[in-house]
Amino acid sequence: MNGSAAMRVGIIGVGLMGHGVAKNVVARGGFPLAFLDHPGNQPVDDLIGLGAKACKTPGEIANASDVIILCVTGSPQVEAILTGETGVLSRLRRGTIIVDCSTALPDSTLRMAAAVEAAGGRFLDAPMTRTARHAEEGTLNLLVGGDEADLRSVRAVLASFTENVEHVGPVSFGHRLKLLHNYVSIGFMALLGEAAAQAAEAGVDPAIFVDVLAKGGGAGVALQRMAPAIVTGDVGAVPFFIGNALKDISYYQTMASHSGASKAIADGVGAAIAAVVESGHGQAYISDLARLFRKTKSAA
């Protein structure tokens, strides 16, 4: 592969997270960028104005790229993008490194890594933590699984949109750690949402509720993120759909089942969030659980 300054980067998935990644790859990193033209993208006029090129198929992205970043919803999408009829593997160039920043099932990750390597490429699973705001600011964190030499090859690209890049083990360990992280994060927010709903039903002042938690064992990042929704009803601080939270919890449950680990609490969190999704609120932000867990008509 050529030096990092000459690396051609492709990205598939220019959504809430991927847009910021794409913008920083081309604007901060100075890398030539190709992106998949897809109806799920955020507006891309700014990317085109920066010189990015739209491609019609994942295969076209593969033909034009030395590094390909995936920022899609989950394992079914990753598998379709890589192995579909016009997928990445249909036109993969030898030595291309796939960097999967999606949240995926570790077993699927291992299968896809093997398929990429069989086609002559390399694979890193590098899921993101933090939010869409951090993606736009170029301060995401990545949990990277895979070969350290492959990571070194693409560090300059990853540096353009990250603050911290941590190598956490072999292929699939990035996704394992991401599912553990999201289970804890989503679980904390679900617990806080349910507690906030109970407090509201009892007539507790929401500001006092948050203050008491913040001064004791309830303090932490989850409370900071949920506080605006609890106190003022502002749910925009955590732009993460409840439907996606349910997907992540279900992935965690699957991973735990395969390992034989206990998942009793995860099952409870999953059931609570599933009920909200089934009631038609899958596209609400997760911080809105403080309202959606309430039972009174005034909270509807």
Residue 22 has pLDDT above 50, yes or no: yes
pLDDT (0 to 100) of residue 5 = 54
How far, in Å, CA of 292 to CA of 119, rounded?
47
The distance from CA 172 to its chain's CA centroid, rounded to whole angstroms, is 15
User: 48-99: per-residue pLDDT in tens?
Assistant: 999 999 999 999 999 999 999 999 999 999 999 999 999 999 999 999 999 9
Annotated active-site positions, please? 178
pLDDT (0 to 100) of residue 2 = 38
Contact 146, 153 (CB under 8 A): no
Residue 298 has pLDDT above 60, yes or no: no
User: Which residues on adjacent β-strands are paired with residue 10?
Assistant: 34, 68
Residue-wise DSSP of 98-123:
EEE-S---HHHHHHHHHHHHHTT-EE
Average the pLDDT over 251-278 and give the result: 97
User: Is domain 176-299 classified as CATH 1.20.1250.20?
Assistant: no
Domain boundaries, the chain: 4-170, 176-299
Query: pTM of the predicted model, to two decimals?
Result: 0.91
User: Which residues on adjacent β-strands are paired with residue 68?
Assistant: 10, 98
Residue 206 has pLDDT above 90, yes or no: yes
Residue 247 has pLDDT above 80, yes or no: yes
Residue-wise DSSP of 162-215:
EEEEEEEESTTHHHHHHHHHHHHHHHHHHHHHHHHHHHHHTT--HHHHHHHHHT
Residue 156 has pLDDT above 50, yes or no: yes
Residue 285 has pLDDT above 50, yes or no: yes
The pair of three-digit structure tokens given for residue 86, joined into one six-digit string:
């016009």
pLDDT (0 to 100) of residue 6 = 75
User: 168-190: per-residue pLDDT in tens?
Assistant: 999 999 999 999 999 999 999 99
Q: Which CATH superfamily is domain 4-170 in?
A: NAD(P)-binding Rossmann-like Domain (3.40.50.720)
Mean pLDDT score of the chain, rounded to an integer?
95
The pair of three-digit structure tokens given for residue 122, joined into one six-digit string:
């390399």
pLDDT (0 to 100) of residue 153 = 97
Residue 297 has pLDDT above 80, yes or no: no
Among the residue ranges 149-153, 231-235, 293-297, the one predicted with the least confidence is: 293-297
Site of tokens 């909200």 = 276
Residue 3 has pLDDT above 50, yes or no: no
Neighbours of 110 (CB within 10 A): 17
Give the percent of the chain with pLDDT over 90.
94
pLDDT (0 to 100) of residue 237 = 87
Q: What backbone torsions phi and psi does residue 14 show, to the nearest 5 degrees?
A: -105, 55
pLDDT (0 to 100) of residue 295 = 87
